[in-house]
Amino acid sequence: MTSTLIAIILTFLTLPSIYGQTKATSCDCPKTQYAGTKSDTTFHLSNGKTIVLCGYKNPDSKPATFSEFILAACGQGKIINFWGATLTCRLRVNKDVLLVDNLRNLPTGKGLKYQETVWTTEKIFFSGQKVIREVTVNRQIRKYSQDEIQTVLKMYKTATPGLNDSKMKLANKLFIATISGNKNARQYFKEFKSRFGTLDGAFAEEYHDLTAMLELWDRKE
């Protein structure tokens, strides 16, 4: 076989890989009631699949976070799901998996201060053409020390009746103390409604969310 023929064969063999690396699939979202069809962000997975996001991008967040958005896989006529306005999410790609971090403002910082905390992470990947979704709780979330737990318990014991913003912050601290493994904090969290009065409006919604989060935490994965 001549050197010229070998060169021609090698050229044809390398063409697919060259052009395959430079061309990326892009698309828009299917029409829904939740968001527009124009994609805001495109996620390219290592297996060649592409997922697009349509919805609201929080302008001041770095890295970018999203609320009230849909995800759709290119080439499929339906959305993967809709994430509502009450959620704040950060998305990232790890090889052939799209990771959706659900962020919560929780008192997990030093001095029981609030900070943005990853609560759950949803993995979105493909089995053939089928979209697979798996949600896991972030069990590496910072737990309270024994001193911090005792501080929260004292705050509960000395709190006066009546609901306000500070009481709801206490509910959040009791939640973190509970997942830190303290039984008294768990009992106080359950008694919160009867101790401080009837919950309604935003306070009821917040306590309901915390209760649902605790139920999710207690599940064995």
Using only C-alpha atoms, what is the Rg of the chain? 24
Q: Which of 216, 42, 53, 219 is CA-nearest to residue 120? A: 216
pLDDT score at 59: 84
- Residue 79: CA count within 13 A, CB half-sphere: 20
124-181 pLDDT, tens digit each: 999 999 999 999 999 999 999 999 999 999 999 999 988 899 999 999 999 999 999 9
CB neighbours of residue 64 within 10 Å: 15
pLDDT score at 221: 63
**207 exposure class (CB count in 10 Å sphere: 0-12, 13-18, 19+):** buried
Which residue ranges make up each domain of the chain? 23-137, 146-218
CB neighbours of residue 55 within 10 Å: 21
Residues 164, 171: Cα–Cα separation, whole Å: 11
CB neighbours of residue 71 within 10 Å: 27
At residue 65, does pLDDT exceed 80?
Answer: yes
131 and 139 Cβ atoms separated by less than 8 Å: no
Residues 51, 44: Cα–Cα separation, whole Å: 7
138 and 100 Cβ atoms separated by less than 8 Å: no
